[in-house]
Every structure is written in structure tokens, then in C-alpha cells.
Amino acid sequence: MARRRQIYEGKAKILYEGPEPGTIIQYFKDDATAFNAQKKGTINGKGVINNRVSEYVFTRLSHIGVPTHFIRRLNMREQLVRQVEIVPIEVVVRNVAAGSICKRLGLEEGEPLPHTLIEYYYKDDALGDPLIAEEHIACFNWASNEEMQDISSMAIRINDFLCGMFAAIDIRLVDFKLEFGRLWDQDYSRIILADEISPDGCRLWDINTGEKLDKDRFRRDLGGEEEAYREVARRLGLLKDEDSGPGEVFDLSAHRGRLRSGKPTKKG
């Protein structure tokens, strides 16, 4: 497919004009950022893995009736998606205390939350994506009450499904980020899931060892980022044997842990 006009470039993806009206080509980069792009680097092959994982997750979600912008994967780094008007809110679903909530509330990392918590952040890199309340959303008309009901109910449904999906491959879904968009049909719009779901926007911990299998390895200089991303894809069944060999061990012992394809090793 011929490369089309670039519409937007973000920290992890580039958006291009799609082949048909109402479509966009989403290109996944290897660039890695953290702390609102204060830390920058590269994780080799990250874009390829994120493209495959996001395709898999969005396809599974569509099977349970969650509307998404995903149409199809085009190649190793690109996928075709529906063009939507992004709601300027990042939705973070938390099951376990980790990341910023620990700093804000003095919680210990790994502490299970009393119940699933949904937080909202205003999408503005210049402001550092500040935490907001639903009252802010209503006051500034970022989303209607009906849209927020759709967003919150979809977030809970997605969380329930993903928790089970990852638990089946011995991964604990600690928290994750979602973005939603408005799909317009003349004067009518509906809310659908947009952006991506991948190790970039999820905290994924090995159930048996607690090993981090996500971008926290980059944030915290733990090393082994590429291996961790590939391990998530392997457990989801997205890597062929020839990609890394059957039974291959991802040795991260120098970085605090060890990952094994198939069933993860337990701490001795």
C-alpha cells in the first residue's frame, strides 16, 4: 500500500490518511517515552509487537460486543482503523495499586484495591495529562453524561474480559489506559474504543513471580524490555516458533527475574 499523507505523529504512533474516507492508517513506532516524554528511548521491535497485541485484543473485544475503531491489520507495523473524534480523556482502570496512585495516596505497590477504580485524565501533554473528576468533564463539556455512562460501562466490561484473558496465561492485569472516540454518522455520534491496548499502556505482572512484562521495565531502567514485550505476545500465541524457538528462555536474571515461554518459572 502506498504511503499516504501524514495526519499526526504522537509518542508511539503515526497516523496517515486512509485509503477510503473515514479511515486512518495507524503506524506503530519503536519509540519509547515515559514521564510525559521526559525520558525517551527505543525498544527494538516494540511497534511490531504492539500492533499484533492490539489487533488481537481489539478483535477479541469485538467478539463480546465492544465497538472499536479497528478494521484490520495491514502489515507488521500498520493497521487500518476508523477515523474518530477522540474524546480528550484518558481512562485509567486500576485493579492493583501501582504507579502514580501510590505516590498520590501513599499506597504500597502491589496492594490490591478494594474494588476496581476508574480514573480520568485530561489529554494534554503540555499540562502533563492532569487527573480530573467527572465534574470537570461535565463543566468543560469534554463529554456528555450519556457518553460518560457509555465510557465507564465499557471500561468495566473491558477490564472484566481482559483480567480473565490475561489470567489464563498467568499474567496479572494491574492497570491499563483506554481512549475512546466519537464515530459520527451525519449528526449522530456513538462512543467506540480507539487508540491501542498493548504492553505500552498496561501494567502486566507475571502471576507467579511478579515479573513486570510492560513499559515499567523501561521507566525503571530494569532492562529486558524487548524480551518482556515478546513474552506477552508469546503467551497470547502471537509469535511463531521460528520467531524465537520453542522452549526458548528469556533470561532476565541480571534484571531481577527470569521469563520462560509457556509456563513462567516460580521463585525458588
pLDDT at residue 267, as a whole number: 36
Contacts of 163 (CB under 8 A, 6+ apart): 95, 173
44 φ/ψ sector (left φ>0, alpha ψ -120 to 50, else beta) = beta
Amino acid (1-letter code) at residue 262 = G
Model confidence over 9-33: pLDDT tens digits? 999 999 999 999 999 999 999 999 8
Domain ranges of the chain: 6-82
Q: Is the pLDDT of residue 248 over 90?
A: no
| The CATH number fitting domain 6-82, selected from 3.40.50.720, 1.10.3720.10, 3.30.410.10, 3.30.200.20 | 3.30.200.20
The predicted pLDDT at position 242 comes to 47
How many angstroms separate the CA atoms of 179 and 166, rounded? 20
Cell digits for 32?
Answer: 519509547
Q: Is the pLDDT of residue 45 over 80?
A: yes
Average pLDDT over residues 180-197: 96
Residue 241: the pLDDT is 52
Angle at 235 (CA atoms; ends 233, 240), nearest 5 degrees = 65
